[in-house]
């Protein structure tokens, strides 16, 4: 694996060459000093080191030949990379990122021990609905009014109850004006 360079020169933000000097790297977090070509310090960059694996796709249909550690691009700053004007602030950010990365790693390890072989599901966690259905006949409009939930949420809930045999459709009522679709009337079984 190709590691980050200790010292390199780069025109990172298209405003002239700068010299980048690695001050320290620990647990996947790096701290670099950024200097002008005349040796004046511009500031410090602290970031999470990203590893690009061999075989990853590149633009133009090519693939990465060797795994390497990557310096962050401009889009990473403010998320996983930070620019600090003063060294003491950069040291503080460095310590915070190391601590956060260790906590995340520990949490993932504990989760994998508690749930071996289980892939963590992504997305929203489904809420359990606690809806009290009226003992008499009811319509969707009346249920929305009494529970305060939205129609799409209640519709899915009622359809599940119909499939399990707890609720059934007993009829339809036309509105007083006679316009629009008739309201479905449900009853608890």
Domain ranges for the chain, please list them: 7-114, 138-188
Q: Determine the distance from the C-alpha atom of residue 167 to the mean position of all C-alpha atoms in its chain, rounded to a whole number.
A: 38
| Tens-place pLDDT, residues 91-148 | 999 999 999 988 888 888 887 777 776 666 677 766 677 788 888 899 999 999 888 8
Its pTM stands at: 0.59
DSSP per residue, 64-110: -SS-EEE---GGGBTTTEEEESSHHHHHHHHHHHHHHHHHHHHHHHH
Q: Determine the distance from the C-alpha atom of residue 137 to the mean position of all C-alpha atoms in its chain, rounded to a whole number.
A: 43
Average pLDDT in the 50-68 region? Answer: 92
CATH architecture of the domain formed by 138-188: Orthogonal Bundle (1.10)
Place of tokens 């892939």: 119
The pLDDT value given to residue 53: 93
- Percent of the chain past pLDDT 70, that is, above it, reads 95
For all residues of the chain together, what is the average pLDDT?
Answer: 90
Cβ neighbours of residue 47 closer than 8 Å, sequence gap 6 or more: 29, 30, 32, 71, 72, 76, 80, 81, 82, 97
Token representation of residue 33: 């000093």
Is the model's pLDDT at 49 over the cut of 80? yes
Three-state DSSP at 179 gives coil
The pLDDT value given to residue 125: 67
């Amino acid at each position: 694996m190709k590691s980050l360079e200790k010292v390199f020169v780069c025109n990172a933000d298209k405003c002239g060459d700068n010299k980048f000097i690695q001050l320290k790297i620990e647990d996947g977090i790096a701290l670099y000093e950024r200097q002008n070509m005349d040796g004046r310090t511009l500031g410090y960059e602290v970031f999470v080191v990203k590893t690009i694996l061999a075989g990853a796709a590149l633009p133009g249909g090519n693939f990465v030949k060797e795994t390497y550690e990557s310096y962050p691009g401009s889009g990473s700053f403010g998320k996983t990379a930070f620019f600090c004007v003063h060294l003491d602030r950069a040291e503080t950010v460095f310590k915070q990122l190391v601590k956060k990365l260790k906590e995340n790693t520990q949490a993932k390890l504990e989760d994998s021990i508690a749930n071996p072989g289980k892939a963590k599901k992504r997305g929203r966690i489904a809420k359990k609905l606690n809806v009290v259905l009226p003992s008499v006949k009811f319509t969707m409009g009346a249920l929305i009014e009494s529970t305060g939930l939205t129609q799409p949420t209640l519709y899915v809930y009622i359809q599940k109850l119909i499939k399990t045999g707890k609720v059934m459709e007993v009829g339809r009522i036309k509105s007083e004006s006679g316009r629009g679709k008739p309201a479905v009337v449900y009853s608890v079984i």
